[in-house]
Amino acid sequence: MIGVDISVDGLESALKQIGAFDSLPDGVVGAVFSGGAYGPSGRYEQYVQSAQHQAAVHQGRWQTDEDVAAKRADDVRNEFAQMVRTIASGGRVSVRSAVGRALKIIYDDMIVYPPPPAGSRYVRTGELRSSYRYETKV
């Protein structure tokens, strides 16, 4: 599985190959991940968007899980900071909703496809995009 997790301090990090959502480490409150994109040669999402396993043909064109985590770090921190400010001012907050909003920031970026290369005959099926989802643990 590839994707991005969000820990209790609001910082994201790239997920390693962890196998299942339930096996996320303690302190992780949610994750955006691919449940598996399949093509004629089997599962392929890790070769497209995993920073650790990205195939050379995709490098420089497809963003990786680590690229998205780095790009959206401030947005996720801001979501958590707003939650803390609301609590500090006596307001009520749904932690689940705040985590969900932070995860959606990551999810919306992970499902963006790059433009196809000039002259490409490859037909995009949408399989990779539709394989992504996000879940909270709170």
Residue 78 Cα to chain centre, angstroms? 17
Contacts of the segment 35-43: beta carbons below 8 A, 24+ positions apart: 35/1, 35/131, 35/132, 35/133, 36/1, 36/131, 37/127, 37/128, 37/130, 37/131, 38/127, 39/125, 39/127
| Residue 89 structural domain | 3-136
How much is the pTM? Answer: 0.78
Q: Which of 53, 72, 43 is nearest to 134 (CA)?
A: 72
* Mean pLDDT value across the chain: 81
Check residues 12 and 88 and name the one with the higher pLDDT.
88
pLDDT in tens, 51-76: 889 999 899 999 998 899 889 989 98
Give mean pLDDT, residues 93-119: 89
User: What is the count of structural domains for the chain?
Assistant: 1
Identify the residue whose tokens are 């790009």.
Answer: 71
95, 101, 104, 106 alpha-carbon torsion, rounded to 10°: -80
- What pLDDT score does 117 carry? 81
pLDDT exceeds 80 at position 28: no
